Amino acid sequence: MNRKFFMIILASIFLLAACSQDAGESDSALAAKADYLTYEVIDQDLEKLRNDFNAHQGQVRLVFISGPTCGICLRGMADLNDEFIAASQTDGRLETFVIHVPALGAKEEHVPDVIPLLAGPRIHHYWEESGIIGRLYQKVMDTRFYIWDFWMVYGPDVVWDGELPPEPDYWMHQLGPLPRELMLDAEVFAAETKKRMDLVGDAASFAGAPIARSAAEQVADGLVIPVIAQPKGFAIGTHIRGRGGYLNLKSIQSIEQRGTMTAGGETFDLQINSQRDHGIRRLVGSGEQISEAGFDGNSVSLPEGDNRGLPAALERILLESFEFDDPVVDWKDKGHQTRKIGMHKHGEVLAWGLELIQASGTRWNLLVGSHTGNIVKAIIVDESGAPLYVMVMDDFYDEDGFRFPHTIEYYDGAGNLLAVEKINEIVISRTEVEVVPKDLTH
């Protein structure tokens, strides 16, 4: 028997509250969100899904088979939502159906946590307990592989009139054995979908298309998805590969960065010199007006008198915890501890969350971009987990095979902006010494 869940999904909304909701938000606003934060449990005969699909004949329909504990699947959902689906929720030419299946140990209880990644009045979520839909699509696609993490586009004339779903007009996937040229690319998928939407008419002509739920604001930013969806060891491996690989990192012997530091309403010249095994020096200012801080591998030196750089307390923590390759690389060898803390929506980036405790005792919560491996946010926390300082990294691009953020914003634990670092030039020196490859699985 089909069960429809008009779920307020309070757990998800409460997780979002600190990041996306004012304390005084009205009951009506919460109700508007709850109206589309819903899912339906469907029987393995798929009659409800088939009827819903056919009820939207005349529109372009997207059908996604995903798993609520599959981090790569969820990343695909977030990418597509950010690329075009969120912006299409007022467009009557498009309807989206997401079928969650019990892959990777997923259960129905995991579905509510992930709905906000792809939520809106023209998006329908389902939980299909048996997973039969993947086997049916396996027949449709004539493959020996179970079909999931699969993304399909159907034109307006397609009807689902039998047990088997109709063959999609276009599809992409995130399954290794299927063609690599059809690996999910949100930009390509969006273009293929919009091409079909334009063939059925302009948006104005579909203004009266039926809509089941109230339109409401997107709520995904700041979302936290439980650790069960985070692949083991994936964040660290992605991070190392995203920085050019282990061999690339270990060949770098020194890095010189030049740019500016803006703090207290003033902008100063900035120079950062770091050397493997010999620490780091940070110089802020120019001429005779330079504040210098550093770490020689044993002790920290802070500027005397006027400090034009970071607040002394933050500067000390960063210098004392400095590691040339960053604390994530070789974390086991360094005696650090790490554990997964789930997936986090940071702007348009769905990131792996890591808690890392350095051997020195400094505690970090890190957000590692699930595509790039970039550390997009680093939070220094106290023993209770409360933030002391927050660093937000942006403007990543390649420098001689080494990906590096060119903008770093520094905040205190209350969210007040302390300083902004802008890097304009990076000079990297390398060694000719051969480095033995490292296992990146951790």
- Residue 438 has a pLDDT of 52
Q: Would you give the DSSP letter of residue 144?
A: S
Q: Are residues 215 and 238 in the same domain?
A: no
Phi, psi for 278 (deg, rounded to 5) = -125, 10
- CA dist 250 and 256 (Å) reads 16
Residue 255, by phi and psi: left (phi above 0), alpha (psi -120 to 50) or beta? beta
CB 121, CB 211: distance < 8 Å: yes
- Given strand 150-154, what is the order of strands in its sheet? 3-5, 39-42, 123-128, 94-100, 60-66, 150-154, 170-173
- Residue 211 has a pLDDT of 75
Please check whether residue 103 lies inside any domain of the structure: yes
Domain that holds residue 48: 3-221
Domain with residue 365: its CATH number is: 2.50.20.10
- Residue 223 has a pLDDT of 87
- Residue 33 has a pLDDT of 59
Average pLDDT, the chain: 86
**Tally: H helices and E strands in the chain:** 10, 20
Please check whether residue 408 lies inside any domain of the structure: yes
Domain with residue 141: its CATH number is: 3.40.30.10
Please check whether residue 415 lies inside any domain of the structure: yes
Q: Are residues 180 and 215 in the same domain?
A: yes
User: Would you say residue 440 has pLDDT above 60?
Assistant: no
- Residue 437 has a pLDDT of 54
Q: Are residues 63 and 103 in the same domain?
A: yes
The residue whose two tokens read 């508007």 is: 32
Q: Are residues 139 and 19 in the same domain?
A: yes
- Number of domains composing the chain: 2
- Per-position b or e across 178-207, b if 16+ CB within 10 A of its CB: beeebebebeebbebbbebbeebeeeeebe
Please check whether residue 280 lies inside any domain of the structure: no
- Residue 201 has a pLDDT of 86
Q: Are residues 56 and 192 in the same domain?
A: yes
Max mean pLDDT among 40-54, 173-187, 218-232, 389-403 falls in 40-54
Please check whether residue 76 lies inside any domain of the structure: yes
**Residue 38's closest CA among 214, 284, 287?**
214
Give the residue, 56 or 211, on which the prediction is more confident: 56
Max mean pLDDT among 207-211, 279-283, 398-402, 430-434 falls in 279-283
- Residue 219 has a pLDDT of 58
- CA dist 129 and 106 (Å) reads 9
* Contacts of 212-216 spanning 24+ positions with Cβ under 8 A: 212/121, 212/124, 213/35, 213/36, 213/38, 213/121, 214/32, 214/35, 214/36, 214/121, 215/32, 215/89, 215/90, 215/120, 215/121, 216/29, 216/32, 216/33, 216/35, 216/36, 216/120, 216/121
Please check whether residue 112 lies inside any domain of the structure: yes
Q: Are residues 177 and 109 in the same domain?
A: yes
pLDDT above 70 as % of the chain: 87
Residues 6+ away with beta carbon under 8 Å from 384: none
Give the residue, 151 or 287, on which the prediction is more confident: 151
The residue whose two tokens read 């089909």 is: 2
- Residue 27 has a pLDDT of 58
Please check whether residue 277 lies inside any domain of the structure: no
Q: Are residues 243 and 196 in the same domain?
A: no
- Residue 18 has a pLDDT of 36
pLDDT digits (tens, 9 = 90+) for 271-285: 999 999 889 999 998
- Residue 55 has a pLDDT of 94
Q: Are residues 57 and 112 in the same domain?
A: yes
pLDDT confidence of 16, banded at 50, 70, 90? very low
User: Would you say residue 12 has pLDDT above 90?
Assistant: no
Lowest mean pLDDT among 64-73, 255-264, 397-406, 433-442: 433-442
User: Would you say residue 306 has pLDDT above 90?
Assistant: no
Q: Are residues 247 and 107 in the same domain?
A: no
Q: Are residues 362 and 240 in the same domain?
A: yes
- Per-position b or e across 225-237, b if 16+ CB within 10 A of its CB: bbbbbbbeebbbb
Q: Are residues 167 and 121 in the same domain?
A: yes
CA 140 to chain centre: 32
- Residue 20 has a pLDDT of 39
Q: Are residues 212 and 343 in the same domain?
A: no
**Residues facing 254 on adjacent strands:** 275, 429
Please check whether residue 305 lies inside any domain of the structure: no
User: Would you say residue 8 has pLDDT above 70?
Assistant: no
Choosing from 168, 198, 221, the residue where a domain stops is 221
CA angle, corner 395, sides to 390 and 398, nearest 5? 120
pLDDT digits (tens, 9 = 90+) for 321-351: 999 999 999 999 999 999 999 999 998 899 9
- Residue 10 has a pLDDT of 37
**Dihedral of CA 41/47/49/51: which sign?**
negative
